[in-house]
Structure 1
Amino acid sequence: MATKTRKTGEPAPSGGSDADGLAEPTAEDLTSALPQSLTIDVTLPEQVHLAPEEELAVAIGAAPVRAGRMLEDDRATTSISLIPVMPEAPVEPAGDDLSDDALQSRRSRLRGDVSATPESAAMLTAERLLDQRGTKRPRPEGAWPAFLYAATLHLVNLGDSPRVRARKALDARIDKRFEGGTRFVPVLTRKGGVGKTTITALLGMAMADVREDRVIAIDANPDRGTLAERVNKQTRATVRDVVTRAASITSFSDFTALVSRDETRLDILASDTDPLLSEAFDEDDYNVVADLAARFYSIALTDCGTGIVHSVMRATLQRADSVVIVSGGSVDEARLASETLTWLEANGYGDLVRNAIVALNTATQGTNLVKIDEIEAHFRSRVREIVRIPYDPQLAAGSIVDYQRLRPLTIASARELAALVVDGLPVRRDA
């Protein structure tokens, strides 16, 4: 039987039949045979994404970051914040003794975090507010640092010398800030002639020369004190004038008209000069003077008399925040100073004794014949600290004290005494 072969690509003959006589379907026939729509359901397994811990650490909100395509309808800009997951710090128990620094760390303040409690004005420190970047260090003090700083055209700054740093540290101790009222420091002893008045003036000058606030020394000696004779007297007023004019003293200028001021800005209020009135200065009079001084001064030194049983002494000790006991370098002077401590302990002032400072005046007679170290060892077992006051011709004269012309060792001892006294004064106290 004969067959007819068609080459590839050759169109089929008209009539649409093949060699067997059957009609071959056209493309239109195949298209018309398909359904109009076709739906296929495909079920895929759910994708499970387990985020690692390092991804959770930088999660946005509570959900981990996942990759995905942004839909066409979600092209709006959205602000997000990255919150790192940090380990929670232990919460300190609330208490009255917690300061603002304990409630908010320095690092959190630098980040701009808001404190959980209202901040006090003391939190606005220069360290916190001033930008120290780009600022130059201050000019160094001291011979060698200053020379090197100048020789290198201000390129090498070693800072202050050790001696200058020690001086500034001592200044910072003397200039300690107080809150809540005046601090009262009586200077006393049972022995006369040991330099109590001189020590009072020296201590006051060392404080006033450094501190930026006001310091006053009150002569409360009912036996005609000589404290005002240690400075250039600028007034003839005494404590008696303050008592009689108390009602009319309403400002600091009114009060300063009754005191004498030396070059260190120490104010001195003289005692009664009339021997007929000296015994009249009693406890009530001292309280009037002390109340007025508390309105204008931060520290009030009181030069007490040699007697410790008169009424002025009782009023003085009731206000005292610390005491300075003056002792000479002889046997009887040291013994009487120690008996003063014993009397204070026996009369309920044990706290003042433990916080007391002993000023050992080594310029008195007999100092060269005794063992000063043994005297210091005795007082060191009873009080907080001891300071030796060396011999100085200007102090021995018993006249006006020019603080700047004192010997360097004398000034150093006075400054050390002032720093130790201020160290023992409370920073905060109810007015």
Structure 2
Amino acid sequence: MRDRDNETSDDVDNGVLTSTDSLETTGIGIVDGSTAQVEVSLPTLHDEDAYLAEEDLGDAALTAEPIEESAPAPASDVPVAEDVIDADVVASPTPTGTVVTGQTRRAMHHANEVDKHSLERVHPARVEEEPLQSRRLDQLGADRETADLLTADRLIDRSRVADAEPDGPWQKFVYAATARRVNLGDSKRARARKELDRRIAAPLHGGAKFVPVLSRKGGVGKTSVTTLLGMALADAREDRVIAVDANPDRGTLAERIGRTSGKTVRDLVRMRADVTGFNDLSSIVARDETRLDVLASDADPHLSEAFSDRDYHDVSAVAAHYYSLVLTDTGTGIVHSVMDATLELADQLVVVAGRSIDEARLASETLTWLESNGYSEQVRSAIVVLNTSRPGASLVKPEELEAHFRSRVRAVVTLPYDAHIATGGAISFRDLAPSARLAARELAALVVEGLRNPGSGR
């Protein structure tokens, strides 16, 4: 085989220029009409010089003298990582006007190969690993269980857990007589009571709810209904309930719980900027045995200014911050300014009617006035309470009264006569007749259901 490096045939280029007319030779000392050979000196690449290979090749002096072709560098045993830069794809700059022979190109390619392996030594290739990634629970192994499988039904040995003691006189007797071996479960009445508790204690969402109790006629039991409703709610619920006496004149709501704090709504209006926590508010309100808080009206006869709509808004803003349910015992003046503020905030209306003809008519006219003044939707979802304030049978047919109001509102509740309430003194929820307490609890359940499903009118 012929040695390509020692080839002297005329057809070999050897980098000799036929003309130097277009070449600037001043810098390399070439006389016009002469030929010159430029020596190319390739630097030895070290690891720390690997990144400078391109610059070294560009700045090296060129020569036309034959250059022995070096053997290609052995391939590195270290696997090449995907992110290592391939030196072959980095083009080495060639100075303008430089004469490059075939041997020079081969030498430059060899330098790039050396550069490539040098880069591999500087940045050792990483061993390919499976990338870390999150896995869904359903992608885990079949033998692995998640925490939601640790349920009470699975872990608790029911055979070792005694059933709850039944509620009901006959059920309790059988349970005790059989040494707790026979459990008949709760009585029908007990199940109904627990279901009513569940309805009253249902959670409310979306901030404080306002429930005004209205009546256009005094003496029909509006304040008593407000008190009973508040007690039934506070007794069954875990959140806070407050009843506000918003009577523009003198109200008697605080007298119905038999406890007083000595403070009134007027004090709260003056001190509202200083109320920074529930402890500050608890010193103003009074609380009864069911945990119902009551904010009394101002009973000072020397006051020239009645409780106004602005006062009610101030009181409501504070109450809404600390209570889930705000009941309002309103006055009889439906066109009074405080009534406008009360209706503006109302989430559920409770209208109290007596069981006489004139009392029933006034209650029905109240509904008509509300419908005529933009509260038609509130009327459809309202509750009417037919309060029996006098003992004995009435000549007015109760079923006819109920039928009339059921045609206009969502629900009607009849509150039976109770001597404990009729005295006009403090009310103890535990001392009420069972029928009166049941009616108050049914009213509370209907109110909560209306608040949980707004707009659920007829």
- TM-score band, normalised by the shorter chain? 0.5 to 0.7
How far residue 321 of structure 1 moved from its aligned partner, in angstroms, is 1.0
Question: Are the aligned partners of 1:326 and 1:358 in contact in 2 as well (CA < 8 Å)?
Answer: yes
Determine if contact 1:174/1:419 at 8 Å carries over to the other structure. Answer: yes
Partner of 1:190: 216
CA distance in 1, matches of 2:219, 2:155: 53
Instruction: Note if contact 2:175-2:181 (Cα within 8 Å) is conserved in structure 1.
Output: yes
Superposed displacement of residue 190, structure 1:
0.9
Give 1:211 deviation, angstroms.
1.1
Deviation of residue 113 (structure 1)? 7.8
Equivalent of residue 357 in structure 1, options 383, 389, 410: 383
| Distance in 2 separating the partners of 1:262 and 1:173 | 22
Q: Which of 222, 244, 251 lines up with 1:225 in the alignment?
A: 251
Structure 2 residue corresponding to 1:414, chosen from 440, 444, 449 = 440
Instruction: Report the Cα offset of residue 129 of structure 1.
Output: 9.7
8 Å CA contact 2:249, 2:307 repeated in 1: no
| Cα offset, 1:312, TM superposition | 1.1
In the alignment, structure 1 residue 248 sits paired with structure 2 residue 274: yes
Corresponding position: 1:377 with 2:377: no
CA 1:130–1:344 in structure 2 vs 1: closer, same or farther (change >3 Å)?
A: farther
Corresponding position of 1:165: 191
Residues 254, 260 of structure 2: 8 Å contact kept: no
The one-letter amino acid of 2:246's match is A
Q: Is the 8 A contact 2:216 2:332 kept in 1?
A: yes
- Does the Cα contact within 8 Å between 1:180 and 1:428 map onto a contact in 2? no
User: What TM-score, normalized by structure 2, do the two folds share?
Assistant: 0.64
Aligned-partner SS, 1:246: helix
1:51-66 → structure 2 map (5 Å cutoff): none
User: Partner of 1:331 in structure 2?
Assistant: 357
Q: What is the match of residue 93 of structure 2?
A: none
What letter is aligned with 2:354? G
Contact 2:352 2:363 in 1 (8 A): yes
Alignment of 1:148-159 (within 5 A): 148-159=174-185
Q: 1:361 to 1:127 in 2, by over 3 A?
A: farther
Please, which of 259, 274, 292 is the counterpart of residue 300 of structure 2?
A: 274
SS in 1 for 2:362: helix
Cα 1:368/1:132, change in 2 over 3 Å: farther
Q: Distance in 2 between matches of 1:180 and 1:132?
A: 40
Residues 33-73 of structure 1: per-residue CA shift (max 9 Å, x gap):
xxxxxxxxxxxxxxxxxxxxxxxxxxxxxxxxxxxxxxxxx
- Counterpart of 1:247 in structure 2: which amino acid? A
Name the larger-Rg structure. 2
For each residue in 1:200-221, what CA deviation from the matched residue of structure 2 results, as whole angstroms up to 9, or x when unmatched?
0011111111111111100000
Q: How many residues align?
A: 311
Contact (CA 8 Å) 1:259, 1:267: kept in 2 or not?
yes
1: CA distance, partners of 2:178 / 2:383: 47
1:344 matched to 2:392? no
Q: Displacement, 1:367?
A: 6.8
Equivalent residue runs for 1:10-409 within 5 Å: 131=156, 133-134=158-159, 135-277=161-303, 279-364=305-390, 368-409=394-435
TM-superposed deviation, 1:228 = 0.7
Deviation at 1:240, TM superposition (A): 0.3
1:192 Cα offset (Å): 1.1
CA distance in 1, matches of 2:265, 2:315: 7
Q: How high is the TM-score relative to the length of structure 1?
A: 0.68
Q: Report % sequence identity.
A: 59
CA distance in 1, matches of 2:296, 2:438: 27
- Contact 2:230–2:327 under 8 Å retained in 1: yes
Please give the alpha-carbon distance, in whole angstroms, between the structure 1 residues aligned to 2:181 and 2:303.
Answer: 67
- CA, structure 1 residues 307+140, in 2 after alignment: closer, same or farther (shift >3 Å)? same
Query: What corresponds to 1:121 in structure 2?
Result: none
Distance 1:241 1:253 in 2: 15
- CA–CA distance in 2 between the matches of 1:235 and 1:278? 23
* Alignment check: 8 A CA contact 1:282 1:312 kept: yes
Which letter maps to 1:375? L
Q: Contact 1:330–1:367 (CA<8 Å) still a contact in 2?
A: no
Contact 2:251 2:296 in 1 (8 A): yes
CA shift, 1:233, in A, is: 2.5
User: What is the aligned partner in structure 1 of residue 11 from structure 2?
Assistant: none
Contact 2:166/2:185 (8 A) holds in 1: yes
Q: Distance in 1 between matches of 2:305 and 2:364?
A: 27
Task: Tell me the SS of whatever aligns to 1:291.
Answer: helix
CA shift for structure 1 position 127: 7.4
Pick closer, same or farther for the CA change 1:257–1:163 going to 2, 3 Å: same
Q: 1:173, 1:241 → 2: CA distance?
A: 35
1:319-374 deviation per Cα after TM superposition (whole angstroms, max 9, x unaligned):
11101100001111000000111111111111111111111012249971211211
Q: Which amino acid aligns with 1:176?
A: A
Counterpart residue identity of residue 249, structure 2: D
Distance in 1 (CA, whole Å) between partners of 2:155 and 2:267 is: 49
Report Cα offsets for 1:116-147 as digits up to 9, x if no partner: xxxxxxxx9x9799857443321111112212
Greater RCO (CA < 8 Å, at least 6 residues apart): 1
CA contact (8 A) 1:232 1:260 kept: no
CA pair 380-428 structure 1, distance change in 2 beyond 3 A: closer
